[in-house]
Each structure stands twice: as structure tokens, then as C-alpha cells.
Amino acid sequence: MRMPQLEPLPGLPERVTIYEVGARDGLQNEPTVVPAAVKAELIRRLVAAGLDLVETTSFVNPAWVPQLADAAEVLDLLGDLGRGPRRPVLVPNERGLDRALEAGVGAVAVFGSATETFARRNLNRSVAESIAMFRPVVDRARGEGLWVRGYVSMCFGDPWEGEVPLGQVVDVCRALIDLGIDQLSLGDTIGVATGGQVVALLRALDAVGIGVDRIGVHFHDTYGQALANTLRALQEGVTVVDSSAGGLGGCPYARSATGNLATEDLLWALQGAGVRTGVDLEAVVQTSRWLAGQMGRPSPSRVVKALTGD
């Protein structure tokens, strides 16, 4: 399989951790429900490809996201491979945390919003009410020794509210950090961000004491900016990047959200620049191809298309 020609790109870190979200963000937005056995096989293949930090599923209200209603079954099928601090699951509330703990997970992610409209649509709560809902979740999760991530959606634009003021994003990030989370993920839910916005937000967070060592970036690729924005974030010192095998993804409660940055597209850029990830590009491509066959439609990833002729 063709590989990119090696030429280091100044300003990038030596190593990047990929936070793989395909099994969760990817599959939550599929019109068809993928069987639990296929989800478990997807996660096994991703881990075997060297993706060590893999978000497996969501313990949300199954009426809201029926695609992931089989969360416990997927974890059952995975056994030890689905547990531990490197296999987070999404939980919005204490009910979700109870279910996650029952399933034996070792890491959870709460997910807030920078805007009121999306908080209502995604969590049925205001921004402040959602933070209040997360507080006991984070407290209890930490008490149980779990690793905890906090997402902030609509950091760079919102389909209903339009532009999102930087200060508003920083306030929600601050509120999540103050709950005691281990890592913050900055979400461009509808893929509208451009490089300058990314730099501005990272610097604004740094100015309030939230350094890049606690930040991951989560770009959707709606406007084709996800990889450019990621590289810009890496040049600012970020070393954790969310991506989705094959470029699957979206959010059922934000219609204009499309696929996440494809893991393969990210790997092509990082491998070319000599940045270590520990991930086998060819194995991820084969996995995405296999999954596309299961779902009956080709992968949207440019790199998968270019390498496989699909």
C-alpha cells in the first residue's frame, strides 16, 4: 500500500495520541442500527491496528440514541478489551453512570455545550443545568477511580445561534475543568471552524490556566477544514486528537454535523510529517473498508478512497 513520503513539518509534536471515536460518534448517527457483534468486531480491529484510546459507546437515554442502545451488550462481547482507562464511554447523567459502572467501564466522558440551544436539543437542559447534572457524575466517577473527559460542543459556531462568542466557550470549558475532569475535548460539532479560531480559543484557554496538556481537539469535517484545523492545533502544542475510522460520524441532534476527521486522513498527514502515533494506517484502512461493506456504503475518507480505489 502506498505510504506518504517522509518530510518533517516544523512545529508538530513528536508524538500524537489519537482518541478514536468511530464506534461512538461514527455509529450514533447511522440511519441503520449496526449489530452489537459488528460494533465489537470494529473495536477489536481498531485496537489491533494500534488505536489504544478508543471510545466504545454511549450510556445515554436509548430513546434519544437508539443506535447505541446496545451499549452493555457491546461491552459484554468485548470482555476485558472494552474496559480500563483507555476505553471511555459517554455518560450524560447519573443514570448513565450507573449503567456504565454496572458494565465495568474504567473511563467516562460527559458532554456539555457552549450554546444554550444545543444544550437544550442534546441534553434537554440549559448550559447551567447540564453542568449541574454532570457534577455528581464527575464526583462519583472520580471517587470510583475512573478517568473522566469533558466535551464542549459548538465551540466554533452553532447552527441555530450562528457565531459563538469566545468568552462563552471559555466559561463552559472553565466550568467543566472546575468539576475535576482529566481532559477537555473542544468540539467543532458542525465542522465550521477555521485555523484562526482554533488558535484564538487555545490561547484564550491558556490565558485562564487551561493548558494544551489537558486539551484534545474534536473536529467534524463538514467544510473540509478538520485536518487543517487539527494541524494548527498541533502546532499550538495539543497532542490529543479525536478522529473516526473511515470518517464516519455526526450528531443526531445537530443536523448539519457530518463525519469526524477521518483517522486515515489524520494518519496520512502525521506519518508524512514523521509524527509517531503507534497506529498502523493500512490496518485502519482495511477496517474501514470492512465496515463500509457491513454498512453497504463506501467510506467518506479521502485516504481510504485513494488507497483502495473504492
Summarize as ranges the residues that interact with Mg ion (CB under 5 A): 25
Residue 184 has what DSSP assignment?
Answer: E
Binding flag, residue 92, ligand HMG (CB under 6 A): yes
Q: Which amino acid is at 215?
A: I
> Pick from Mg ion, ligand HMG, none: which does 60 bind, CB < 5 to 8 A by kind?
ligand HMG
Nearer Cβ to ligand HMG (111/223): 111
- Tell whether residue 127 is a contact of ligand HMG (CB under 6 A): no
**Closest of 123, 92, 95, 90 to residue 107, by C-alpha:** 90
Binding segment toward ligand HMG, per CB under 6 A, in 60-68, 158-166, 172-180, 280-288: 60-68
Q: Looking at residues 128 to 187 of the shown chain, list those that interact with ligand HMG (rule: CB under 6 A).
A: 151, 153, 187
251 part of the active site = yes
Task: Closer to Mg ion by CB, 20 or 25: give it.
Answer: 25
**Contact flag: residue 268 with ligand HMG (CB under 6 A):** no
* Residue 174 to residue 40: CA distance in whole angstroms: 35
Q: Which residues are bridge partners to 205 per DSSP?
A: none
Alpha helices per DSSP H over the chain: 36-48, 71-78, 94-102, 116-123, 127-143, 166-179, 195-207, 226-235, 263-272, 281-295, 302-308
Task: Kindly state the smallest distance separating residue 186's Cβ from ligand HMG, in Å.
Answer: 8
End-to-end CA distance of the chain: 14
Nearest CA to 165 out of 204, 211, 213, 111 is that of: 204
SS3 267: helix
Assess 123 for contact with ligand HMG (CB under 6 A): yes
| Options 184, 192, 251, 281, the catalytic residue | 251
| CB of residue 63 to ligand HMG, shortest distance in Å | 7
> Pick from 58, 239, 287, 301: which binds ligand HMG (CB under 6 A)?
58
- In whole angstroms, the minimum distance from the beta carbon of 11 to ligand HMG comes to 26
Please identify every residue annotated as catalytic: 251
